[in-house]
Structure 1
Amino acid sequence: MTDPGSTALFTDHYELTMLASALRDGTAERECVFEAFTRRLPDGRRYGVVGGMERVLEAVENFRFGEAELRSLSREQVGDEETLAWLRDYRFRGDIDGYPEGELFFPGSPLLTVRGTFAEAVVLETVILSILNHDSAIAGAASRMVSAANGRRIIEMGSRRTHEESAVAAARAAYLAGFTGTSNLQAGLRYGIPTTGTSAHSFTLLHDTERSAFEAQTEALGTGTTLLVDTYDITTGIETAIDVAGTGLGAVRIDSGDVGVLARQAREQLDSLGATGTRIVVSGDLDEYAIAALRAEPVDGYGVGTSLVTGSGAPTAGMVYKLVEVEGRPVAKRSSHKESRGGGKGALRRHKSTGTALEELVYPTSPGHAPPQPGPHDRFVPIPLMRGGQRVEDLPGLEDNRQRLRHALVSVPWEGLKLSAGEPAIPTVFPDVS
């Protein structure tokens, strides 16, 4: 058995091939800079949201090759004895800077900068990209859904539609983006995210009558619970729910049909029964477009599953991890449609005096280049994350980063918040340094 806390084998075969070759020819110890960035945003998106940065740091800290992992590599002939001996003592001892979680990003934004030897930085590629691509995709989709909900409660409930560990990470990314809570209890335990939920149709079907199901749930959970009223006939379901729980029933959930029309009818019926404070929650294959279409309906909350955990059509953020500097010398990939810009980079986001963002200036940090002068309303985006292989103290936490995203979205020009396709909300500018 491998150590479940270790992330070492979240690595690709080709990374160890490069490591073995670099160790053999003596280039493994060259000081290098790697960057994670995206060349373009997913179709229809005008901004990205950084998710998973905290998980990246945790993964780097736990990146170890124990004896079980080394025996597996030896058995599969992945690397020679020199490589395995080097991996046995592996610890990342370099520096990492990056955009904090909840920050917006755009094409070319230097989201993560890893400085260290080639050997210690190259083996981190897969684990870094797997986390950032997944969590940022979820956070980006969730942010659009939160914006579409326009202040109404929105719950993540997609655990059954993805891998069990992805479900926990998705719940965290959704909460980062402004979701109210999650139905995933492991996410609640691991990250302190508020958990919530109600019964499924199977609970109603278990009982001889809908009434007996409602009675059992309210007896166990109180009248503040949410009753699922559309297993049979929704009108009868609402009438029974109020008859059982009284006009103080917390909420009813509608999970099928034309939820907009049904919500309107449900509101009228609830009000006529005196349950004016009973909320209406809708679920069932919702995405940001469906949520936006329901904005005018009397809906108090949304439950979102499949579209959230799949990135609402964009399951990856499209990030890459590229070598951009070797011992102070910029290097760049020139392949057609996959070009990269050489040299380490920083980013300065420029703003109007009103707080509206104007542009993202991506500038070189290679030797011989001075950073740009910020204006009174500008700010540098990347922050120090690790120094000498140790996490920087007092980094912002999950609640801080929820607020960061909220403030960042306020700075976006209103056109950039549209759900329709268009140019990135904030243009990325690369100064001519030739």
Structure 2
Amino acid sequence: MNPTASTALLTDHYELTMLEAALASGAAERRSVFEVFARRLPEGRRYGVVAGTGRLVEALRDFRFGEAELDRLRTAGVVNRQTLDYLSDYRFSGDVWGYAEGECFFPGSPMLIVEAPFAEGVLLETLVLSILNHDAAVASAASRMVGAAAGRPCIEMGSRRTHEWAAVAAARAAYVAGFSTTSNLEAGRTYGVPTAGTSAHAFTLVHDDERQAFEAQVASLGPGTTLLVDTYDVPRAVRLAVEIAGPQLGAVRIDSGDLLVQAREVREQLDSLGATNTRIVVTSDLDEYAIAALAAAPVDSYGVGTSLVTGSGAPTAGLVYKLVAREGADGSLIGVAKKSKDKLSIGGRKYALRRLNRRGVAEAEVIGIGDAAVDDGDDRSLLVPLVRDGEVVAAADLAAARARHDASLAELPPRALQLSRGEPAIPTVYEDHGR
């Protein structure tokens, strides 16, 4: 989601100066292969989650330099007239493959591959990375939270803790990774993510007392609503909530205090009042570790905000966009790679497989250099076409992405779900069948 009509200036200045120099040198039309990958996962993470692919292909459709964009570049003196002429006709004509949205990834996974003339591909670097780094970071954190919740629903409610448009993207990414609903209405309108919400403390405080607030909410939203019970005194509020809504009260929400102790006390109190089916929702700066600590508590669902939209300590997925092959004098592709210390890349166009054992459990992320995979019968191909000849061919289906994530996570070994620090759940293995 982006509030601007064109995505062309959602990029860095140096993308355009590289273009200008490449047009002058003659390299602009040289066939090139760019690759998106993470050299490593955030410390202690066992896997990452691909998210943002659907947003990316939509942004690519809008990557056009109209009069407003060209005028800005002209008046700011960013590039010369030749480059402006090139940009006025810019249309991405290449191919894009990638890991399908919802798929798990590991260090070195070629989660996106762009093949196009250098001029077309280099312009996409910043756009690609800004979308995928953000969305994959949120989805990776969300997946860990959903795993810690062990089947209890998680609600995304971080809109007030991030940029207004990042909030929409975060809600979408969290939904891909298994969150059930979001509080963000724009995410509901744009992407169809289910929305939910009832009231905040302000609603209670604006009324003369808690009784008046609860009566007003139940009268408006019905007894199945969720009443916030920690504005003043929790036991008193729970009694009042059941008195007003009856034993059919939908849920109560606790947003402060020792959540483990309070959840147990509230559950006991609800049951004693006959509200045995009333659910307990907890919020208050939760992350995956706090959710895991509440596993033994009688909690029915979790609302997560700040930690989710900031990647739970890893606000970027650490993805990079590197040139890995270029056209040689004879027209064939030549692998190229960065050799600098601590930032090595591996040249050559790649394919990727998830190697499974006979029980269907993943054993390795296999990355091959060359044009064709060698399938031994226990490998699952990971790259799917996203854009062909400049046209989007992948459907942005959130339901499919959610199902894909469930399936991808289910085939990983059990250690993938551990929250303790450790190595990636499976190793990355390189095989060269193309050189």
TM-score, normalised by the number of residues in structure 1: 0.97
Q: Distance in 2 between matches of 1:99 and 1:52?
A: 11
Show CA shifts across 1:307-349 (max 9, x none): 0000000000000000000010100000100010001101011
In the alignment, which residue of structure 1 is the partner of 2:375? 373
Q: Distance in 2 between matches of 1:175 and 1:371?
A: 32
Provide structure 2 residue ranges, at least 5 long, that are not aligned to the other structure.
328-332
**2:391 is the counterpart of 1:386:** no
User: Does the 8 Å CA contact 1:348/1:374 hold for their aligned counterparts?
Assistant: no
Q: Distance in 1 between matches of 2:25 and 2:267?
A: 73
Show CA shifts across 1:271-321 (max 9, x none): 000000000000000000000000000000000000000000000000000
Q: Distance in 1 between matches of 2:180 and 2:308?
A: 14
Q: Distance in 2 between matches of 1:314 and 1:3?
A: 26
Q: Distance in 1 between matches of 2:98 and 2:213?
A: 51
Amino acid at match of 1:224: G
User: Does the 8 Å CA contact 1:101/1:401 hold for their aligned counterparts?
Assistant: yes
The aligned runs of 1:333-412 (5 Å cut-off) are: 333-365=338-370, 370-375=372-377, 377-392=378-393, 395=395, 397-412=397-412
Aligned to 1:175, the other structure's residue is in SS state helix
In the alignment, which residue of structure 1 is the partner of 2:330? none
**How much does 1:370 deviate?**
3.9
The aligned runs of 1:197-276 (5 Å cut-off) are: 197-276=197-276
The aligned runs of 1:1-400 (5 Å cut-off) are: 4-327=4-327, 328-365=333-370, 370-375=372-377, 377-392=378-393, 395=395, 397-400=397-400
Show CA shifts across 1:192-218 (max 9, x none): 111001200010000001000001101
User: Which of 279-288 and 377-386 deviates more?
Assistant: 377-386
**How much does 1:4 deviate?**
2.0
User: Does the 8 Å CA contact 1:32/1:325 hold for their aligned counterparts?
Assistant: yes
User: Does the 8 Å CA contact 2:155/2:183 hold for their aligned counterparts?
Assistant: yes
Q: Distance in 2 between matches of 1:296 and 1:142?
A: 20
**How much does 1:399 deviate?**
0.3
User: Does the 8 Å CA contact 2:137/2:314 hold for their aligned counterparts?
Assistant: yes
Aligned to 2:431, the other structure's residue is in SS state coil
Q: Give the root-mean-square deviation of aligned CA atoms.
A: 1.2
User: Does the 8 Å CA contact 2:368/2:432 hold for their aligned counterparts?
Assistant: no
**How much does 1:407 deviate?**
1.0
Q: Distance in 2 between matches of 1:39 and 1:134?
A: 16
User: Does the 8 Å CA contact 2:351/2:372 hold for their aligned counterparts?
Assistant: no
**How much does 1:75 deviate?**
1.1
User: Does the 8 Å CA contact 2:54/2:396 hold for their aligned counterparts?
Assistant: no
User: Does the 8 Å CA contact 1:32/1:116 hold for their aligned counterparts?
Assistant: yes
Amino acid at match of 1:143: S
Amino acid at match of 1:374: D
Q: Distance in 1 between matches of 2:30 and 2:240?
A: 72
**How much does 1:151 deviate?**
0.2
**How much does 1:3 deviate?**
8.7
Count of aligned residue pairs for this structure pair: 428
Q: Distance in 1 between matches of 2:10 and 2:31?
A: 23
Aligned to 1:110, the other structure's residue is in SS state coil
Show CA shifts across 1:372-401 (max 9, x none): 1231x32100101110000115x3611011
Amino acid at match of 2:373: P
Aligned to 1:96, the other structure's residue is in SS state strand
**How much does 1:142 deviate?**
0.1
> Residue 42 and residue 3 in structure 1: after superposition, are their counterparts in 2 closer, same or farther (change >3 A)?
closer
User: Does the 8 Å CA contact 2:334/2:348 hold for their aligned counterparts?
Assistant: yes
Aligned to 1:215, the other structure's residue is in SS state helix
Q: Distance in 1 between matches of 2:275 and 2:372?
A: 65
Aligned to 1:6, the other structure's residue is in SS state coil
Q: Distance in 2 between matches of 1:370 and 1:249?
A: 59
User: Does the 8 Å CA contact 1:137/1:316 hold for their aligned counterparts?
Assistant: yes
